[in-house]
């Protein structure tokens, strides 16, 4: 088993529906593209880090 597969199998978000994860990823992508660079980049960064360190448990 590859290390990435082992990490995915042990993730807290393993049982979350793929649509939930897709909405989060696509939403952050749309925000990154549509907002101006200065506040948009900071907003996307803070949101992504919050999700990764909080609920996702990475």
Side-chain half-sphere of 27: how many Cα atoms within 13 Å? 10
pLDDT of 8: 80
User: Which is it for the CA torsion 1, 15, 44, 48, positive or negative?
Assistant: negative
* Residue pLDDT, tens place only, 5-40: 888 888 888 889 999 999 999 999 999 999 999 999
- Cα 58 from Cα 51, distance rounded (Å): 9
| Residue corresponding to tokens 């989060």 | 24
Nearest to 16 by CA among 44, 55, 52, 53: 55
Predicted TM-score of the model (pTM): 0.77
pLDDT of 36: 95
Number of CB atoms found within 10 A of residue 32's CB: 15
């Amino acid at each position: 088993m590859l290390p990435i597969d082992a990490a995915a199998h042990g993730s807290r978000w393993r049982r979350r529906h793929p649509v939930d994860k897709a909405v989060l990823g696509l939403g952050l992508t749309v925000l990154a593209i549509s907002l101006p660079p200065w506040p948009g980049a900071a907003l996307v960064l803070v949101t992504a880090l919050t999700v990764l360190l909080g609920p996702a448990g990475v």
